[in-house]
Amino acid sequence: MSLKTKNLKTGTPKIPSDSHRNIYASAKRGDTIVEVMFAIAVFCLVAVVSIAMMNTGVSRAESSLELVTARNELNAQAEALRFIHSSYISELTLPTEDQLTEAELAAGEKYQQYNQLWGKITSNALEPRGGDGGYNIEYPLNNCSTVYESNSGSGNLLARNNAFVLNTRDLLAGNVNEAYISASENPGRFREAEQNARLLFTSESGGGSTEEISERVLYNRLGRAEGIWVVAVKSNSGDKPPQFYDFYIQTCWYGPSAVRPTSLDTVIRLYNPEGVKEN
């Protein structure tokens, strides 16, 4: 808009005065460098605070997800142990598989399906703490790699403590005798957690091309047990059969941007019917 205006009487342009020019010039003046830098500083501060809050929220959400995943894995192992124990007790009055003839097996005669699996679990149970061959994993751990490091060729802590996991998918599929995975016989399947405590499953064929697969691929083979294990400890009953078994289900992993490991564990006690009857 021009500062020149017309005289209403004569119609000639009216030249603005010097004061008018100064007011116009000050109105057109831009921000100073100090004002610009202050605005940039405020913007950067708001951006940094927003990003920090967002990162904190993401870390907390990831930590919560990892805890829920680990707790679900713990509960799955505990429920599998309870199921095997109760099934073993309920089948004690049935004959074993080797006591039946082929004709009886073909006819669908019932037999003890879980006695062999329960025998594997309990035969590798340790003595209580303090004695030779006793349970000696100091938990919680200050470093997750402690249990996975070998010691003078005698195996790592998991192998020396007869640690194991149960493949719950084999139990569901009816492959009862394949559900027990021990750390001493399968050391490559027990690894330090890359993300969080979990069981990773793979297909029977181990993957491969799916072009020739006509059926649904079943991921029921345990590939790795990352940051989770189970140790069985029997009661101290001397020469008599143990009255119960304590199962320590433990996990260890590093959360997002964490220096110290996260540990989550539980213990369940299952009573031995033979030991209870003896006592």
- Which residue has better confidence, 174 or 198? 198
Six-digit token string for 23? 């007011």
At residue 164, the pLDDT reads: 96
Confidence of residue 276 (pLDDT cuts 50, 70, 90): low
Q: What is the mean pLDDT of residues 3-13?
A: 54
Distance (Å, whole) CA 73 – CA 89:
25
Q: Is the pLDDT of residue 279 over 60?
A: no
Burial bucket for residue 253 (CB in 10 Å: 0-12, 13-18, 19+): buried
- Specify the DSSP class assigned to residue 142: S
Q: Is the pLDDT of residue 129 over 80?
A: no
Q: Is the pLDDT of residue 152 over 80?
A: no
**Main-chain phi, psi angles of 207, to 5 degrees:** 100, -140
At residue 214, the pLDDT reads: 46
The answer to which of 30-34, 69-73, 253-257, 260-264 has the lowest mean pLDDT is 30-34
Q: Is the pLDDT of residue 266 over 60?
A: yes
Q: What is the mean pLDDT of residues 181-195?
A: 91
Continuous H helices in the chain: 18-27, 33-90, 102-106, 115-123, 157-160, 168-173, 273-278
pTM equals 0.76
Q: Is the pLDDT of residue 236 over 50?
A: yes
At residue 274, the pLDDT reads: 81
Confidence of residue 174 (pLDDT cuts 50, 70, 90): confident
Confidence of residue 20 (pLDDT cuts 50, 70, 90): low
